[in-house]
C-alpha cells in the first residue's frame, strides 16, 4: 500500500507539473517527464520485488515439501523393513509345511501350534497426506526437476496404490478361503488350537499351502523392488536439495 500511495503522489505531482502556468512549457515538460520516470521506475521495482518475493516463497515451499517427502519415505523404509521381519515367521511356516508335505514327514505339533500363520497378514500402508495436500494445492508445479516430479508422482499414484491392491487381493483371498474351506473342516479344542495337521494331506490343502507360499514370496519380491524405487527417489531428493538449496 505504501508503494501505491507513493505512485499516486508522483502521478499527482506529474499532473501539477504539466499544468503549472508559472513555469515555461519546457520546464513543465521536464518536470512532468521526471515524475513519469520516477513512476515507471517505482512500478518496475515494485513488480520486481513482488516477483522475487513470490519466487522465494515458492522456493521455500518446494524445499519444505522435498524435506518432508524424504522424511515420509524414510519412515516408509523403517515400516517396510519392520514388516519383513514381522511376516517372515509366516513365510517360514508355509515353507516348512510345504517341505514336510513333500517329504511325507508331517510335524503335527509344529503345524498345529503355529497354525495361526494361516490367517496372519501384514498389509502395506503408506502416508500420502503430504503428497495429496501439495498436489491438491496445485504446488506440484513448483518442483522444477521434471524427472524428480515424475518419479515422486509415480510412487504415490501408481506404485504404492498397486501394492495396497496386491495385498488386499492375496490376503483377502486367503481370508475368504480360510473362512470357507478350512475353519469349517478343522478340529478346534477349547484353547482355540487348530488341528490343521489332520486335513493337511488332502489335495486341496496341499495346493493351498503351495499357492500361498509362492504368492507370499512373490509379494515380498515386489515389496523389495518397491523399496529400491523408494531409495532411488530418496537419492534424487537428496541430490536436488544438495544442488539447488
1 inside domain: no
32 inside domain: no
For residue 54, what pLDDT is reported? 65
What predicted TM-score, i.e. pTM, was given to this entire model?
Answer: 0.80
For residue 189, what pLDDT is reported? 85
For residue 175, what pLDDT is reported? 95
146 inside domain: yes
- Domain span at 107: 57-244
For the cut 90, the answer to whether the pLDDT of residue 221 exceeds it is yes
For residue 25, what pLDDT is reported? 62
Question: Which CA distances in Å does 245 have to 63, 75, 152?
Answer: 7, 23, 19
Under 8 Å between Cβ of 152 and 72 = no
According to DSSP, the residues that pair with 100 across neighbouring strands are: none
For residue 41, what pLDDT is reported? 72
Range from 25-29, 142-146, 173-177 carrying the lowest mean pLDDT:
25-29
Confidence of residue 19 (pLDDT cuts 50, 70, 90): low
> Which three cell numbers mark 79?
515400516
Confidence of residue 1 (pLDDT cuts 50, 70, 90): very low
Amino acid at each position: 500500500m505504501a508503494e501505491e500511495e507513493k505512485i499516486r503522489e508522483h502521478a499527482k505531482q506529474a499532473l501539477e507539473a504539466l499544468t503549472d502556468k508559472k513555469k515555461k512549457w519546457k520546464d513543465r515538460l521536464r518536470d512532468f517527464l521526471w515524475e513519469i520516470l520516477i513512476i515507471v521506475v517505482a512500478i518496475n521495482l515494485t513488480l520486481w520485488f513482488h516477483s522475487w518475493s513470490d519466487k522465494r516463497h515458492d522456493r521455500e515451499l518446494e524445499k519444505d515439501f522435498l524435506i518432508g517427502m524424504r522424511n515420509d519415505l524414510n519412515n516408509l523404509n523403517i515400516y517396510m523393513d519392520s514388516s519383513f521381519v514381522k511376516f517372515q515367521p509366516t513365510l517360514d511356516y508355509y515353507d516348512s509345511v510345504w517341505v514336510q508335505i513333500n517329504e511325507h514327514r508331517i510335524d503335527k505339533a509344529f503345524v498345529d501350534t503355529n497354525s495361526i500363520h494361516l490367517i496372519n497378514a501384514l498389509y502395506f500402508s503408506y502416508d500420502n497426506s503430504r503428497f495429496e495436500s501439495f498436489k491438491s494445492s496445485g504446488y506440484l508445479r513448483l518442483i522444477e526437476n521434471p524427472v524428480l516430479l515424475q518419479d515422486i508422482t509415480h510412487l504415490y499414484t501408481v506404485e504404492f496404490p498397486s501394492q495396497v491392491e496386491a495385498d488386499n487381493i492375496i490376503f483377502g483371498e486367503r481370508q475368504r478361503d480360510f473362512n470357507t474351506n478350512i475353519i469349517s473342516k478343522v478340529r478346534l479344542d477349547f484353547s482355540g488350537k487348530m488341528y490343521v495337521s489332520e486335513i493337511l494331506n488332502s489335495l486341496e490343502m496341499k495346493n493351498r499351502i503351495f499357492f500361498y507360499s509362492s504368492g507370499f514370496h512373490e509379494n515380498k519380491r515386489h515389496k523389495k523392488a518397491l523399496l529400491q524405487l523408494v531409495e532411488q527417489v530418496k537419492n534424487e531428493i537428496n541430490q536436488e536439495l544438495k544442488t539447488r538449496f
